[in-house]
C-alpha cells in the first residue's frame, strides 16, 4: 500500500531550488531582495526553506529543518511577470492576503514546470 493509505498526509507535488524575492506584504510594496530558496509544493501550500547549499554541514539536520515561510495557494493568482525584473523566466505569485513573490530560474524548462504545477493546484482549489 502507499505510504499515505489513510489520505491524511498531503501529497508532495514538487521540490527544487528557485530564486525568490518577496515584493509585497499585505499589499504594501517591499524592497526586492533576491535569494536562492528550496521550494516545496505540498498539498495546498508552497513552502520555502533556506537553500541547503548556503548552510554549513553542521547546521544541516535532515528532517529537522524548519520552513522560513509558507504560502497558501487557495485563491492565489499566478502570472508571468518578466516586466517586473531584468531577469528572465520570472513569474509572480499573489496570495489572497496580498503577499507577492517573484520566482525565477535560469532554466526555461524548469520554470515552466513550476508555473504549470502551481497553476494546476490553484485551479484545482478554485473548483473545490
Ranges of H-type helices in the chain? 108-127
The answer to whether residue 83 forms part of the interface with ligand I3S (CB under 6 A) is no
74 neighbors 68 (Cβ within 8 angstroms): no
CB 119, min distance to ligand I3S, A: 22
The answer to whether residue 34 forms part of the interface with ligand I3S (CB under 6 A) is yes
In angstroms, the CA 24 to CA 116 distance is 23
Applying CB under 6 A, the span of 47-55, 69-77, 83-91, 115-123 interacting with ligand I3S comes to 83-91
Task: Kindly tell me which residue out of 50, 74, 87, 112 binds ligand I3S, with binding defined by CB under 6 A.
Answer: 87
Task: Kindly tell me which residue out of 44, 65, 85, 117 binds ligand I3S, with binding defined by CB under 6 A.
Answer: 85
Query: What number of H helices and E strands is found in the chain?
Result: 1, 8
CB 17, min distance to ligand I3S, A: 17
104 neighbors 87 (Cβ within 8 angstroms): yes
Amino acid at each position: 500500500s502507499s505510504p499515505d493509505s489513510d489520505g491524511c498526509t498531503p501529497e508532495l507535488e514538487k521540490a527544487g531550488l528557485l530564486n525568490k524575492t518577496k515584493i509585497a506584504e499585505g499589499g504594501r510594496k517591499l524592497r526586492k531582495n533576491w535569494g536562492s530558496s528550496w521550494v516545496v509544493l505540498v498539498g495546498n501550500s508552497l513552502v520555502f526553506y533556506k537553500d541547503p547549499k548556503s548552510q554549513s554541514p553542521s547546521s544541516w539536520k535532515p528532517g529537522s529543518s524548519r520552513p522560513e515561510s509558507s504560502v497558501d495557494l487557495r485563491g492565489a493568482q499566478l502570472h508571468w511577470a518578466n516586466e517586473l525584473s531584468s531577469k528572465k523566466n520570472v513569474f509572480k505569485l499573489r496570495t489572497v492576503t496580498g503577499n507577492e513573490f517573484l520566482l525565477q530560474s535560469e532554466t526555461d524548462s524548469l520554470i515552466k514546470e513550476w508555473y504549470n504545477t502551481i497553476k494546476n493546484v490553484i485551479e484545482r482549489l478554485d473548483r473545490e
